[in-house]
Amino acid sequence: MLPNGAAGALSQWLRLSGEKMKLKGKVGLVTGTSPNIGGGIAETLAAEGASVVCVDSRAENAADCARYINSTNARAIAVTCDVTDENQVAAAVIAAREAFGGIDVLVNSAAFFNKKGVIDMTLEEWRRQLAVILTGTFLFTKSVAKLMIEQQRKGSIINIISTAGHQGEPDNIAYCTGKGGLLNFTRSAAMELVRHGIRVNSLTPTATDPAESLERAARWGRTISVDANQLKRLFEPFRTRVPMQKLPSPSDYGRAAVFLASEDAGMITGTDLRVDAGAIAQYWAWDPGAK
C-alpha cells in the first residue's frame, strides 16, 4: 500500500501520462508509408496511441511500416493499394473498418517525384503524377469522409503539401501544380465537411534531413548503402539556404500531424501548417547562410 501522498502523486502521474497520448483510442490511415515522411508520420501517430492503417502501392512499404508499429505498444495493419484506383481505395477503407472499427485521422501523403518541365513532360507523365497527388487525395478524402459521416466521427484529414506547392520551382511542373492544387482542395473540402465536424488541413514539409529515414529503413530491416559525402553534397545547399540552417526530419512532420489530428487543433480547419524551417516566410533576396 502506498502512502496517501505517493498514491495521489502516482495517480496524478498516470493520469498525466495517459493524457500525454494525444491520439489514444483513435485510428489513423496514412498513405505512402515509405521509411521517409509517410512512415515517420505513421510511427508518430502510433507513438501517440493511434492504431494505424499503413497504405502503399509498394507492398513492402505498407508491410514494413505496419510490422514495426506492431512491434511497439501500438497496432497496425498493412494495405497494398494504388491511391488512384477507386475500388482499391474502397477496399482499404473497408479493411480499416474491419480491423479497427473506423477511421479518425486520414493523412494523404502518397506521391512520387518526376522532375520534368512543361516542355519535356509527356501527357502520360503529367496525368499520372497529378493522378497520384490530386486524384489519390480526392478518392481517399471522399471514401474516408463518407465513413466518418456515417459513423458520426468528428475526424481530421491532413494533406501533405511541399514548399514546391507554394513556389514556382522550374522543371517540376506536375508536382508544383498538384501540390498547389492540394492547398485549395484542402480549403474547399474543409468548408464542405465543416458541417459534419470534420476538419481538413494541410501540412507543408520541405527538403528533409535524410538521417532519420535512413535509421528507420535500417530499423525496418532494410539493407541500404549510402555515400555519406554524396548525401552531404545533395542536402548541404538546402540546409544553408533555409533560415533555421537545419532541415526538418519526418518526426517533426509527425508531431505537427499529431497536433492537427488532436483536440489541441479542435478550432483549426482549412489551414496550412508549414514545418519548413522558415523557408516560405523567407525574403527572396536574403541569403541566411551568408556570413
Ligand X SMILES: NC(=O)c1ccc[n+]([C@@H]2O[C@H](COP(=O)([O-])OP(=O)(O)OC[C@H]3O[C@@H](n4cnc5c(N)ncnc54)[C@H](O)[C@@H]3O)[C@@H](O)[C@H]2O)c1
Helix (H, G, I), strand (E, B) or coil at 1: coil
Which CB atom, from 108 or from 269, has the smaller least distance to ligand X?
108
Residue 30, strand partner residues: 54, 107
Q: Annotated catalytic, 175?
A: yes
Which CB atom, from 88 or from 271, has the smaller least distance to ligand X?
88
Write down the least CB distance from residue 242 to ligand X, Å.
Answer: 12
- For residue 99, give every residue at least 6 positions away whose Cβ sits within 8 Å of its Cβ, in sequence order, or none: 51, 53, 77
| Residues binding ligand X (CB under 6 A) | 31-32, 34, 36-38, 56-58, 61, 81-84, 109-112, 132, 136, 160, 162, 205-208
Closest CA to 53 of 102, 5, 2, 124: 102
Write down the least CB distance from residue 88 to ligand X, Å.
Answer: 8
Main-chain dihedrals φ then ψ at residue 74, nearest 5 degrees: -110, 175
Distance in angstroms (rounded) separating the CA atoms of residues 151 and 168: 41
Which CB atom, from 96 or from 153, has the smaller least distance to ligand X?
96
Write down the least CB distance from residue 108 to ligand X, Å.
Answer: 8
Which CB atom, from 27 or from 242, has the smaller least distance to ligand X?
242
Which CB atom, from 20 or from 222, has the smaller least distance to ligand X?
222
| Catalytic residue (choose from 68, 175, 253, 283) | 175
Closest CA to 210 of 198, 228, 193, 197: 228
Write down the least CB distance from residue 166 to ligand X, Å.
Answer: 11
Residue closest to ligand X (Cβ): 32
Task: Decide if 147 contacts 103 (C-beta within 8 A).
Answer: yes
Helix (H) or strand (E) holding 201: strand 199-204
Write down the least CB distance from residue 75 to ligand X, Å.
Answer: 21
* C-alpha dist (Å) from residue 241 to 109, 116, 162, 250, 276: 25, 23, 16, 19, 12
The three three-digit cell numbers of residue 67, written as one number: 510490422
Q: Calculate the CA dihedral of residues 144, 30, 176, 280 and round it to 10 degrees.
A: 110
Q: Which positions are catalytic?
A: 175
